[in-house]
Amino acid sequence: MATDRIFCRFTRSDAPFSIHELPSEDICLSAFLIFSPPGDPKQVLVGQMNPEAPWDHFAGLAREEVELNEGRWVLPASHLLFGEGPNHAATRILREQLGNLSATWDPPILDSQFYVPRSQHTKHWDLQFIYRGRLASSRLPSLHPWKRLRLVDLAKAAPSEFGRSHEDILTTLGLPADASSELAEP
């Protein structure tokens, strides 16, 4: 007996149990970098986007999306480029958004969410590759493409201070609650 399930196998071929047309819901594949200084996992590197920077090129964000989140903290992140693997995306984000930052990270945590975003009325599906890491020094990179870039104490930051629903990424990892157990020193 054949199943009636439809799997997330997107193909133009006539392969059974597959999706042959794009779904009506939005689907995003993204990578996020979450860096903390050694020994202080409740501090996380975040920035406020410089609206003059080419966020369309760095992360696939339209000017309206950048303006909507102006003044809010976001994690270094990007949608994956078409055909790009998540590890390559993480390296690209580090290079393009954080330039001279010296850091190490663990293998990614994969998270998936299916929800209705605050700014939309249709369902949205996110597949997220989340990289947790440690800063090698306390020296932060130059600001471009950020207006502000700093370490934020998650125990003191309100969810409303974050843009692009990045507080949800941190919550997925159990931050700020008991963050000390989340990022142990090697």
Cβ-defined contacts of 38-43 (< 8 Å, 24+): 38/134, 38/135, 38/185, 39/185, 41/175, 41/179, 41/180, 41/182, 41/183, 42/153, 42/154, 42/155, 42/175, 42/176, 42/179, 42/180, 43/151, 43/152, 43/153, 43/154
pTM of the model: 0.84
CA proximity to 127, closest of 82, 86, 92:
86
Q: If pLDDT is split at 50, 70 and 90, which confidence band does 178 have?
A: very low
CATH number of this structure's domain 26-181, picked from the four choices 3.30.450.40, 3.30.70.100, 3.30.70.20, 3.90.79.10: 3.90.79.10
Q: Which two tokens stand for residue 65?
A: 């999306």
Q: If pLDDT is split at 50, 70 and 90, which confidence band does 186 have?
A: very low
Q: What pLDDT digit, counting tens, does each position of 139-156 carry? A: 777 777 999 999 999 888
Q: Enumerate the domain spans of the chain.
A: 26-181
Q: What pLDDT digit, counting tens, does each position of 73-86 carry? A: 999 999 999 989 99
| Residue-level pLDDT at 1 | 59
| Residue-level pLDDT at 114 | 85
